[in-house]
Amino acid sequence: MLKRAKFTKIKSFAKVNLSLNVIGRLKNNYHQIESLVTFVNLHDEILVRYSNKMRHTITFSGKFSEGIKKNNNTVKNLLELLDSKNYLNNKKLEIKLIKNIPHSAGLGGGSMNAASLMKFLLKKKLKNNFNNIANKIGSDVQLGGQRKNLILLKNSKVLKTNKKILLYVVICKPNFGCSTKFIYSRLKKFTKSEYNLRKQNYFNLKKLVNYKNDLETIAFKYYPKLRKLKIFFDTLPDLEFSRMTGSGSAIVGYFKSHKDAKKANKLIKKRYKSYWSVISKTI
C-alpha cells in the first residue's frame, strides 16, 4: 500500500459544526452533545511512507504548525495505540504534516488528521472497530470516519447522510483560541434533544438557519472579541447564517455563491487585519 521511497499524500479535511446542542452531563463528567457536522475543502496535507528507522518520525510544517506539542498530539497518540495492538506489523512510519487548519478553532484539525491517517493505513482491519479506536484518541476522531454530512446523536452514535448543503463558507479565526475544557466547565444549562428522526432532512437550509450552538453563549461571555466578530458576520451582505463551530474560536459564515463569500471575506479582512480568514466550501 505504501511505497518506501515515495511519500503518499493524504488530504485531511476540516470539520464544521452546523449546530451543537449540549443536552446533559454523563456519569464520567463529560458532556452529552448532539451535532450536525459537515466538512469543507480546507485541508491539512499528510505525507506518509514507511521508514527504516527504529521509531516513527512526525514533523509539522505550514502556517499553523506552531504550538503543536511534539510529544502529545493526536497522530503520535494514534501511532502508539496502533503499535500496542500491532496493527502496523512492527513497521515504522515517516510522517510529514502540513498544517493549513488552525488549532484551537473548533475545526477538528488534529482529530481529522488522526482519522484520515487511520482510515488510510488500516482500511480493512478497522472496518468494524474504527469507532472503538477513534474514541481512545479523541471524542471528535470518529467524525472523520466518513467525509459526509453527519448527525452526531446523544448516544455518541453517528448517522451518515447523502444530503448536500452546497454552500460556500468564510471561516474566520481571531488571533486567539478558545479552551474547550474551560468553555464546557462554565456551561450550566442544557437543551432538549432535537435529532432523533432518521428520515428527517436536518440539512435543509431553511432549518439550518434556525439551529444554534449552545457553546456560543459561554464563549461570547468570556471572549467578548468573539461576540463582536459574530455580530459583524451577521451584518455581511447576502449571508445565509453564521455560527461558531465547536467550542470556537472560529466563526463560519455561509453563502450561496463564491462571489458573495469573496465579497464578505474582503470586508472581514479590511475590518480585522490581524485575524485569519479563508473562503472554502462544503464537500
Active site residues: 15, 140
- CB neighbour class for 173 (10 Å; exposed up to 12, middle 13-18, buried from 19): buried
DSSP-assigned letters across all residues of 4-44: SSSPEEEEEEEEEEEEEEEEEE-TTSPEEEEEEEEEEEEEE
Q: Which of 189, 225, 167 is nearest to 36 (CA)?
A: 167
The span from the CA of 104 to the CA of 141, in Å, is: 15
Half-sphere exposure of residue 87: CA atoms within 13 angstroms, side-chain side: 23
**Phi–psi pair at 70, nearest 5 degrees:** -65, -30
The four Cα atoms 226, 229, 235, 241 give a dihedral, to 10 degrees, of -60
The percent of the chain in helix, strand and coil, each rounded to the nearest 5, is 30, 30, 45
C-alpha cell at 200: 428527517
- Please list the residues that pair with 255 across neighbouring strands: 168
Q: List, in sequence order, every residue forming a beta bridge with 33; answer none if it has no partner.
A: 22
Q: Facing residues of 20 across strands?
A: 35, 213
Q: Burial code of 257-282, b = ≥16 C-beta within 10 A, e = fewer?
A: eeebbeebbebbeeebeebbbbbbbb
- 204: its cell numbers: 435543509
